Amino acid sequence: MRRPKHRSIERLPKYRVTIYRRQPDYEWSTEPNMKAIFNSIDRLAKTGDLPDEELLALITTGDKEAVGRLSARAREVREKVYGRSVYIRGLIEFSSYCKNDCYYCGLRRSNRSAERYRLTPEDILSCCAQGFDLGFRTFVLQGGEDPFFIDERMTALVRQIKERFPECAVTLSLGERERESYQALFDAGADRYLLRHETADKEHYEKLHPAEMSYEHRMKCLRDLRGIGYQVGCGMMVGSPFQRPEHLLKDLRFLQSFRPEMVGIGPFIPQKDTPFGDRTSGGAGDTLLLLSIIRLLLPQVLLPATTALGTIDPMGREKGLQAGANVIMPNLSPVSVRKKYLLYDNKICTGEEAAECVQSLRDRVARAGYEIVVSRGDHPSRQ
């Protein structure tokens, strides 16, 4: 969908701007005339786009009525595309080793307190078998950038999963690799790949990562994945250190131009053994707001209500569904390793986020007005 031409300043909605502090989310926000912002929300729902100044006003609004209107419009759009179906993905966190040293991540190589583990192929296949019996038709293999899992090991594993569960999708989240590696995994049968862009602003990216990591390479990886033919997922943390509303505006414009099949966002949550361990968490409210905006910008996108959202708010995933999300990713990893895969502190590792409790999760989703379905849950363009 093409972005609309910007109108002249004289014809833009008139905004009354108030600067105020808001915690724990962003330190400032603009509160426009509510009639104008309601009009912006309705036009976003209708056209799928807004000029920068109006989109920025939505990103920074603190008005409950505006947020409620955004959520309502996002639900309408989501239900027009997907009905009330919620897709579940079985998350298998198979390695906590990582060669990278990202400043925000508990798995960073410099974290001597991290408990390291690797699952065997037999462990992973057992998780898949358990998940299949529970109704999962997508398995998400997620791990740090572990040099042990070379292409030969990963392609063999993907082939085994596809042979044993041919009706299931395999999603990989292995970080940055070279195009030849992505191609080999795709040829082995992988269907989707998740790689968060983290931020669409180069300067901001460099504040979150050491110099050895490159914003340009991250973006190249995403372009390679798209060119190969994967269903691609990207996304960002909300409320990460040094993040400003203008950065989020850049993120939204990147999502519009790249048009991923999946977008994963969640609040930044600090991990005590990282350089950002003393930072303030991002806000659930800001995350929910952005879920709604993303649903309106990309009506067909597969949009998870993430574990991080459920960590920062006990009702976070239900609220996420009501804000426009349509995917949940319960944990299929062996119980013995779940507390070792700590990207951030206080991650929910037991209870209804776990795959064994899928019936309880079904009940919670039903109370939110939706229904978990047994399906691969592909993007409409791939069905």
C-alpha atoms less than 13 angstroms from C-alpha of 347 in its C-beta half-sphere: 24
Q: Based on the domain organization, do 35 and 96 belong to the same domain?
A: no
User: Is 80 exceeded by the pLDDT of residue 40?
Assistant: yes
Q: Based on the domain organization, do 41 and 125 belong to the same domain?
A: no
Helix 52-59 and helix 284-297, axial crossing angle in degrees, nearest 10: 150
State the pLDDT at residue 343: 64
Mean pLDDT of the chain: 89
Q: How far from the centroid of its chain's Cα atoms is residue 213's Cα? A: 21
Residue pLDDT, tens place only, 116-146: 999 999 999 999 999 999 999 999 999 999 9
- Residue range 146-154: mean pLDDT, rounded: 98
| Cβ–Cβ under 8 Å, residues 375 and 87 | yes
- Spatial neighbors of 314 by CB under 8 A, at least 6 apart, are none
For 239: left if phi > 0, alpha if psi spans -120 to 50, otherwise beta; the answer is: left
Q: Residue 295, SS3?
A: helix
State the pLDDT at residue 25: 42
- Residue range 366-373: mean pLDDT, rounded: 96
Q: Based on the domain organization, do 115 and 28 belong to the same domain?
A: no
User: Is 70 exceeded by the pLDDT of residue 31?
Assistant: no
Q: Based on the domain organization, do 132 and 270 belong to the same domain?
A: yes
State the pLDDT at residue 90: 95
Last residue of a domain, one of 50, 81, 112: 81
Q: Residue 134, SS3?
A: helix
Q: Which domain holds residue 34?
A: 9-81
Q: Based on the domain organization, do 72 and 86 belong to the same domain?
A: no
In a domain, 321, yes or no: yes
User: Is 50 exceeded by the pLDDT of residue 53?
Assistant: yes
- Residue range 307-312: mean pLDDT, rounded: 88
What single DSSP character describes residue 164?
H
In a domain, 382, yes or no: no
Q: Based on the domain organization, do 132 and 205 belong to the same domain?
A: yes
- Residue range 21-36: mean pLDDT, rounded: 53
- Residue range 91-101: mean pLDDT, rounded: 96
CATH number at residue 313: 3.20.20.70
What single DSSP character describes residue 140?
E
State the pLDDT at residue 383: 86
- Spatial neighbors of 11 by CB under 8 A, at least 6 apart, are none
Structural domains of the chain, count = 2
- Interatomic CA distance for residues 141 and 94, integer angstroms: 7
More confident: 338 or 276: 276
Last residue of a domain, one of 52, 81, 110: 81
**Cα end-to-end span (Å), the chain:** 20
- Spatial neighbors of 344 by CB under 8 A, at least 6 apart, are 104, 105, 106, 268, 269, 270, 271, 308, 311
In a domain, 311, yes or no: yes
In a domain, 163, yes or no: yes
Residue 5: band (very low, low, confident or very high) from pLDDT cuts 50, 70, 90:
very low
Residue pLDDT, tens place only, 273-294: 999 999 999 999 999 999 999 9
User: Is 60 exceeded by the pLDDT of residue 65?
Assistant: yes
> Which residues are registered as beta bridge partners of 354?
331
| Cα distances (angstroms) measured from residue 377 to each of 244, 303, 357 | 33, 11, 20
Strand ranges for the chain from DSSP E = 85-88, 90-95, 138-143, 169-173, 192-194, 231-234, 237-238, 262-263, 266-267, 327-328, 371-373
Query: What whole-number percentage of the chain has pLDDT above 70?
Result: 87
Q: Based on the domain organization, do 253 and 275 belong to the same domain?
A: yes
Which range among 110-119, 217-226, 287-296, 343-352 shows the weakest confidence by mean pLDDT?
343-352
In a domain, 275, yes or no: yes
Among 49, 63, 47, which residue's Cα sits nearest to residue 15?
A: 63
User: DSSP per residue over 63-122, as a string?
Assistant: -HHHHHHHHHHHHHHHHHHHTTEEEE-EEEEEE---S---TT-TT-TT-TTPPP-B--HH
In a domain, 212, yes or no: yes
Q: Based on the domain organization, do 272 and 292 belong to the same domain?
A: yes
Q: Based on the domain organization, do 92 and 142 belong to the same domain?
A: yes
Q: Based on the domain organization, do 248 and 223 belong to the same domain?
A: yes
In a domain, 1, yes or no: no
State the pLDDT at residue 144: 96
State the pLDDT at residue 356: 58
In a domain, 226, yes or no: yes
Q: Based on the domain organization, do 125 and 188 belong to the same domain?
A: yes
Last residue of a domain, one of 58, 81, 104: 81
